[in-house]
Structure 1
Amino acid sequence: MATPATPSRILPKSNFHNANAATNTGVSIAPDAESKGASLAYQRNNDFEHPDHVIPPPDYTGFENLVIVCCHGIFHPDASSPDFPLYSPHDENNWYLADFQKSNPETGKPGEQETFLAHALAGIDALIGELSPDVPNRTLLVMSGGSTKPSLTPLSEARSYYHAALAHELAEGNRGGGRTYQLFSKGRILLEEHAADSFQNLLFSILLFRQTTGRYPKQIRVITHAFKARRFLDLHAPSIRWPSERIQVQGIDPVMSGAEREQTIRGEEKHGFAPWLQDQLGTGDFLASKRRNRGWDEQVAEQLAEGLEVSAKEVVKGTVPEHLPWESTVV
């Protein structure tokens, strides 16, 4: 199952009982009773275990908007390491990037890690307006991307983007993780850690929203490259019959010259849009093999659709039934 951004956080047990036990002989006498010569004693219960204090789960009542950040690389520094704040998300060396995503000193092309960080921060910006106590919380952010480089790291793209946003906060002087950690700890940022392509980014994020809130989103904003907008609006959303008036794309492209932009658009049409036009669910040999090369495990499909409608489960398995639950969502 996709991982929610707020794990169960258990507070430390109270030291009160342990401190008493260290000096106790097994019987304690109330001070006023002792002064009166009373023999009343309180026997210590050696089988008693102090219960854990668990923070209650977030309340997702009223949430209806979904923001999806599509992930494309992995920021790999260990977020649990004491030296994590020393690793900048702006440094290309701290990312696992494909060759075409790396900088090229000869042409002046910068590394695309700046674009990936911009995607993550744009997603967080979409939630900022709801941090005020006077504004209703209606929007969830899903960072979507699986463990696409298993030979290098088990870390998912989604979790690494969250780490990159945290590293950015620390670099800005927000020692507690700033707004990123605040939103994460409140369950406003969810991590979808299985998607291996853009179609799965959309579908799995929708399903995670449903599993988290109990309903499907009314409105979706996809944050990705601008040159991929047609892929989402004209192919992915229609392929699962997601209503066109309920999805938007916020496009942020890498820095490009005019020639590079034209080349990128041609490449998207040939290698991105065209294959999905022919195989809109990505179950054919070409797109399915790309998924497997990026770490996709088909056995995860059952887990992703756990507790959902039968029709939603069919979509995860690669077929689109006659009726889908999100088509009937009232806006």
Structure 2
Amino acid sequence: MNKYPFGSSNNPNKSSSYYAYQRGNNDFDLESGSVRKSRKPKTLFAKMFGTRIHHLFKLHPVLVSIALVSFGITVLIFLSSIYESQFRSAVAYKKNDLDNDVYPFANLKNLVMVAGHSVYTSSNCGKMDKEESWFLESYQKHPGQAATFLSHIEEGVEAAGKDDEALLLFSGGETRKEAGPRSEAQSYWAVAESKGWFGKDDVRSRALTEEHARDSFENLLFSVCRFRELTGSYPHNITVVSYDFKEERFAHLHRSAMGFPESRFRYMGTPASLESKEGALKGEAMVRAQFQEDPYGCVGSLWRKKLKRDPFHRTIPYPNGCPEIRGLFRYCGSAPFPGSLPWDSSVSNL
């Protein structure tokens, strides 16, 4: 009997390990009890294909190169489409997460918008009714002009104070280079703050700004989008505060361009200063005629005016916050916007 334990060699000075299965690329034949070398897979087809490609490349190098490049591009397009699909799914997932968040003013239903007309530049809050405290264009340099700005601010606060479901937005961007990077909207909000919200303290918590508008149409359009960002819905009613001589422009031209129902639109106009009234009426007639030809302010003199009123090249975030009216932002034409809008009678609001 072998005196060495199972699994050891006959030489006690030489150890070896036991393996239940043979290592390497060999196969153990149970029937014959012998070890056979594994068969390598046949590569005849691959060799023939490679030879054929090599032969074709010698005969038609340009055509073969184009074919190979085209094949590579096709593969890349296919892979990129898969990646894009996965990326969009991830974005949609994140968007759904955001949509589930509570909007800060979801309980508000109506919009009160005060259109800005100037930037407050004084460091002294006690001179808000003085013309030198505001940056004024040449056509605005008249006695009593600053007081009209305060009148607009107060009217907006009063209107919001009478409606507990109203969001007050001061609208106007950084439109004056000489005034520095200060927006009209922030100027109006700061004045209201200094005035103690004219005794309507409860309005402060629902008074915010829209700081990108460069003209009156954008005052309205951008404020509606800003309302959507803050409430998650579009305004049921809109109240606009500006000069009385601009009522036709806002209440008819801009409202019609946006397709907003007349029955849900209200305009509150205050008079211009006495010395500026005549010039203001002439200027308004000219601007109104321009908007009649170009309702969306996207060509000609109205478009050039917008560019001039963006001295700091601010990136406009809209319509990211109001995707349902993306088409309205992109539309440019003399006819009314042909698409459907959230406030259409046939379209339910958000």
Q: Tell me the TM-score range normalised by the shorter chain.
A: 0.5 to 0.7
Could you tell me how far apart the structure 1 residues matched to 2:295 and 2:313 are?
A: 17
Aligned partner (choices 159, 177, 180) of residue 126 of structure 1: 159
Query: For structure 1, which runs of at least 5 residues remain unmatched after alignment?
Result: 1-56, 79-83, 104-109, 131-136, 170-176
Q: Any idea what SS the aligned residue of 1:254 has?
A: coil
Q: C-alpha displacement at 1:321, in angstroms?
A: 4.5
Matched, 1:158 2:175: no
Could you tell me how far apart the structure 1 residues matched to 2:194 and 2:106 are?
A: 31
> Measured at CA, do residues 151 and 93 of structure 1 come closer, stay the same or move farther in structure 2, by a change above 3 Å?
closer
Corresponding residue of 1:305:
319
Corresponding residue of 1:133:
none
Q: C-alpha displacement at 1:309, in angstroms?
A: 2.6
CA RMSD in angstroms, aligned pairs only = 2.5
Matched, 1:183 2:203: yes
Counting helix residues as a fraction of each chain, which structure ranks higher?
2
Q: C-alpha displacement at 1:159, in angstroms?
A: 0.2
> Measured at CA, do residues 263 and 152 of structure 1 come closer, stay the same or move farther in structure 2, by a change above 3 Å?
closer
Could you tell me how far apart the structure 2 residues matched to 1:58 and 1:241 are?
A: 26
**Larger Rg over CA atoms:** 2
Could you tell me how far apart the structure 1 residues matched to 2:261 and 2:231 are?
A: 20
Matched, 1:281 2:296: yes
Query: For structure 2, which runs of at least 5 residues remain unmatched after alignment?
Result: 1-101
> Measured at CA, do residues 284 and 118 of structure 1 come closer, stay the same or move farther in structure 2, by a change above 3 Å?
same
Matched, 1:322 2:339: yes
Corresponding residue of 1:99:
138
Decide whether the 8 Å contact of 1:65 with 1:220 is kept in 2.
yes
> Measured at CA, do residues 307 and 250 of structure 1 come closer, stay the same or move farther in structure 2, by a change above 3 Å?
closer
Residue 190 of structure 1 aligns to which amino acid in structure 2? L
Q: TM-score, normalised by structure 2?
A: 0.64
> How far does the alpha carbon of each residue in 1:72-110 deviate from its partner, in whole angstroms, 9 at most, with x for none?
0111134xxxxx44x32011111101112112xxxxxx2
Decide whether the 8 Å contact of 2:161 with 2:202 is kept in 1.
no
Could you tell me how far apart the structure 2 residues matched to 1:77 and 1:308 are?
A: 35
Corresponding residue of 1:41:
none
Could you tell me how far apart the structure 1 residues matched to 2:314 and 2:181 are?
A: 17
Q: C-alpha displacement at 1:329, in angstroms?
A: 4.9
Q: Any idea what SS the aligned residue of 1:325 has?
A: coil
Corresponding residue of 1:292:
307
Decide whether the 8 Å contact of 1:88 with 1:167 is kept in 2.
no
> Measured at CA, do residues 178 and 250 of structure 1 come closer, stay the same or move farther in structure 2, by a change above 3 Å?
closer
> Measured at CA, do residues 166 and 88 of structure 1 come closer, stay the same or move farther in structure 2, by a change above 3 Å?
farther
Q: C-alpha displacement at 1:261, in angstroms?
A: 4.0
Matched, 1:269 2:285: yes
Corresponding residue of 1:208:
226
Could you tell me how far apart the structure 1 residues matched to 2:171 and 2:285 are?
A: 23
> Measured at CA, do residues 329 and 88 of structure 1 come closer, stay the same or move farther in structure 2, by a change above 3 Å?
farther
- Higher relative contact order, structure no. (Cα contacts within 8 Å, ≥ 6 residues apart): 1
Decide whether the 8 Å contact of 2:245 with 2:271 is kept in 1.
yes
Residue 234 of structure 1 aligns to which amino acid in structure 2? H
Residue 188 of structure 2 aligns to which amino acid in structure 1? Y
Q: C-alpha displacement at 1:264, in angstroms?
A: 3.2
Q: C-alpha displacement at 1:240, in angstroms?
A: 1.4
Q: TM-score, normalised by structure 1?
A: 0.67
Residue 95 of structure 1 aligns to which amino acid in structure 2? W
Q: Any idea what SS the aligned residue of 1:248 has?
A: strand
Decide whether the 8 Å contact of 1:64 with 1:217 is kept in 2.
yes
Could you tell me how far apart the structure 2 residues matched to 1:154 and 1:207 are?
A: 23
Could you tell me how far apart the structure 1 residues matched to 2:109 and 2:318 are?
A: 20
> Measured at CA, do residues 297 and 318 of structure 1 come closer, stay the same or move farther in structure 2, by a change above 3 Å?
farther
Alignment of 1:104-253 (within 5 A): 110-129=143-162, 137-169=164-196, 179=199, 183-184=203-204, 186=205, 188-253=206-271
Could you tell me how far apart the structure 1 residues matched to 2:269 and 2:133 are?
A: 24
Q: C-alpha displacement at 1:129, in angstroms?
A: 3.4
> Measured at CA, do residues 275 and 162 of structure 1 come closer, stay the same or move farther in structure 2, by a change above 3 Å?
same
> Measured at CA, do residues 261 and 291 of structure 1 come closer, stay the same or move farther in structure 2, by a change above 3 Å?
same
